[in-house]
Amino acid sequence: MTEGGFRLAALERRPLKDAMAQAAKVAQARVGFALSTQEGDLPAAMLYAVTGGKALRAFLALESARLHQINPVAVAGAAAAIECIHAYSLVHDDLPCMDDDETRRGQPTVHRKWDEATAVLAGDALQALAFELLVQTDCSPRAKMNLVVSLAHAAGVRGMVGGQAADIAAETAGAPLDLDRIMALQAGKTGALITWSALVGPRMAEAEREPMTIYGEALGQAFQIADDILDETGDAAVVGKAVGKDAAAGKATFVSLLGLDGAKRRAADLVDAACDALSPYGEDAETLKEAARFVIARTH
């Protein structure tokens, strides 16, 4: 089976490294194909924005679908869609009016490589393209509607954008948040898209969602804690973006509230909870368990 020029594996379980590499290729190929008839800076900036990342969210979409015996060709649109949403959020986050970053994934940010107007428009267009790709997912009309509505919620004021707004409001107010408010904020800003990705499989299969919901929510929080740890201890050359910005801004993070060792313990406990939630799937879920362990062991 091929999708956008790349061969898609069948339903057998693959090692994490291979599965994530495949997910990145599928997402980038789908976006590249969608933009192949367009010319100019805007489509170039869009494709640039989705290239070079870990494609964790696309991987989760494909892997959760595999657990539910869904053909990988059928879910490719959803995998590409979530990477478009994630990429758009990064393009906008990097702008001078937001985090004002000059590098992303070890490369110049979109507004540095082109300009701010192109970055804004590329983000806007990636968000629109995400829903175009999502409706190409091969599942029942009811499941497809569920995917569309749930992604709109996860990406919007109830999820990622709402979390980002709360983060900016807290920083503007100059009053550091307590742990409960940090957890709620990050559940939207970071966790909502990760949880949505983990639920692609059960949503498409119209199956029980609780195990993958627990997994996705725990993974999302562990991912953010790992990000906070990297901002505190990471090397910018390895991480691929500026580090130390949270501490310099006096921003409350899991590390500032729990301490470095406490944050690491919390992340490890969350990974254990994520892996335990996968017990109904047996050995078939080992790659997802690998992903949970990878999230807190990563260096970028």
pLDDT digits (tens, 9 = 90+) for 268-293: 999 999 999 999 999 999 999 999 99
Q: Amino acid identity, residue 2?
A: T
pLDDT at 4: 44
pLDDT at 180: 93
Which residues, given as ranges, of the chain have pLDDT below 70? 1-11, 238-242, 244, 247-250
pLDDT at 239: 64
pLDDT at 6: 40
Rounded distance, CA 231 to CA 219, Å? 18
pLDDT at 9: 47
Token pair in block for residue 183: 């957890």
Please count the other Cβ atoms lying within 10 Å of the Cβ belonging to residue 125: 19
DSSP state at residue 7: E
Rounded distance, CA 288 to CA 284, Å? 9
∠ CA 186-47-297, rounded to 5° = 40
161 neighbors 155 (Cβ within 8 angstroms) = yes
* CATH assignment, 2-297: 1.10.600.10
What SS3 class is residue 6? Answer: strand
- Residue closest to 126 by CA, chosen among 166, 149, 92: 92
24 neighbors 58 (Cβ within 8 angstroms) = yes
- Tens digits of per-residue pLDDT, 221-247? 999 999 999 988 877 776 666 676 776
* b/e burial code for range 233-247 (CB count within 10 A of at least 16 → b): ebeeeebbbbbeebe
pLDDT at 248: 63
- Tens digits of per-residue pLDDT, 192-203? 999 999 999 999
DSSP state at residue 300: -
- Residue closest to 74 by CA, chosen among 86, 84, 66: 66
Beta-carbon contacts of 297 under 8 Å, excluding residues fewer than 6 positions away, are: none
